[in-house]
Amino acid sequence: MKAGSLTVVGTGIQLVGHLTLAAKAWIEQADKVLFAVADPVTAKWLRSLNATAESLPYNTNNQRRRETYCEMTEKILAEVRQGLNVCAAFYGHPGVFADPAHAAIKQARQEGFRARMLPGISAEDCLFADLGLDPGKNGCQSFEATDFLIRQRKFDPTSALILWQIAMVGNLSFYQPGGNLHSLKILTEVLNRYYDSEHEVIVYEASVYYPVCEPVICRVPLARLPETEMTEVATLYVPPKSPAPIDREMLMRLGMSVSVEHKKEETSQWKTTNKL
């Protein structure tokens, strides 16, 4: 292995409290810390943990976010190539919707450097906690909103649906407040093929400053999604519309008795005499 290494860590969503002890140790011990975080307080705190900490370039003059992400990757690699043990910190989980984090690890390994990623707390983890959603119950599907539309992702409306980056639908550039009305109408129209207009959806924003601020949990009928106020960090949660029916033949094949309790509101919660 060459001298120089890369460790990518996540700072979580909420200030300070979401950083794991492992991530903190890597930040403190690194020869160089680079970061891409969503708020100035975390940036300041990272500098207090390690005086080398420096923000990754975030050049909004680029036409596309992708170009900015390439610049971030290059900056990380430039430090590693100098033989430094570099720690790159991204907000949330560093491997969730974080192209430059994955790209930097891949590139570093290709060039013969040691590179690793530590998990962090993502917005989806916060959503599970704040909305009381257990993905083990009805399953959970998670898509980037633009990808969901342009690839006509197949999904199951009887299972939970999470759509990321809804404030950026159809936008490969940078966030513009209120600039997504047209795209949100299209997203709503597509969702409306599977859910009725009155189906409640939730525009969710985890609190960064918890416990000072509560999360934003805005429940609206699907039809009102386009006019719902949201910021850059909004994530959409679409609850399951109705329970999936149970395949009795499969129950039999699995040797499970057909003692199934259907509850009106939670019919996917069922029990067998075999107790799952």
Let me know how many helices (H) and strands (E) the chain has, helices first: 9, 10
The residue (of 77 and 123) whose beta carbon lies closer to ligand SAM is: 123
Task: Give me the helix-helix angle, 99-110 and 65-81, nearest 10°.
Answer: 40
In the complex with ligand SAM, which residue's Cβ is closer, 15 or 243? 15
Out of 43, 71, 97, 228, the only residue in the binding site for ligand SAM (CB under 6 A) is 97
Q: Is 237 in the site for ligand SAM (CB under 6 A)?
A: no
Cα(208)–Cα(6) distance, rounded to whole angstroms?
Answer: 27
Q: Does 206 bind ligand SAM (CB under 6 A)?
A: yes
Q: Which stretch binds ligand SAM (CB under 6 A): 134-142, 148-156, 180-188, 199-207?
A: 199-207
109 is catalytic: no
104 in Cβ contact with 81 (< 8 Å): no
Distance, CA of 46 to CA of 89 (rounded, Å) = 9
Q: Of 117-156, which residues contact ligand SAM (CB under 6 A)?
A: 122-123
- Among 73-81, 151-159, 201-209, 256-264, which window interacts with ligand SAM (CB under 6 A)? 201-209
Site string for ligand SAM, 46-85 (x = CB under 6 A): ----------------------------------------
Q: Could you say which of 26, 69, 148, 204 contacts ligand SAM (CB under 6 A)?
A: 204
Note whether 235 binds ligand SAM by CB under 6 A. Answer: yes
Q: Which of residues 8-37 bind ligand SAM (CB under 6 A)?
A: 13
Tally Cβ neighbours within 10 Å of residue 26: 22
Question: Does residue 222 interact with ligand SAM by CB under 6 A?
Answer: no
Catalytic site includes residue 224: no
Q: Spot the catalytic one: 69, 195, 204, 237.
A: 69
Number of other CB atoms surrounding residue 173 within 10 Å: 15
Q: Is 31 left (phi over 0), alpha (psi -120 to 50) or beta?
A: alpha
CB nearer to ligand SAM: pick between 92 and 243: 92
Question: What is the radius of gyration, based on Cα positions, of the chain?
Answer: 22
Q: Strands of 200-205's sheet, edge to edge?
A: 140-144, 160-164, 235-238, 200-205, 216-221
The rounded distance, in Å, linking the Cα atoms of 63 and 266 is 47
Q: How far is the CB of 65 from ligand SAM (least distance, A)?
A: 9
**Minimal CA–CA distance to 89: which of 47, 144, 143?**
47
Pairing of strands 32-36, 85-90: parallel
- Out of 47, 65, 153, 193, the active site residue is 65
| CB-closest chain residue to ligand SAM | 92
The reply on whether position 157 binds ligand SAM by CB under 6 A is no
Compute φ and ψ for 220, nearest 5 degrees. -140, 155
Question: Which of 64, 66, 81, 91 is an active site residue?
Answer: 91
Q: Which residues are catalytic?
A: 65, 69, 91
Residues lying near ligand SAM in the complex (CB under 6 A): 13, 90-93, 96-98, 122-123, 164-165, 204-206, 208, 233, 235
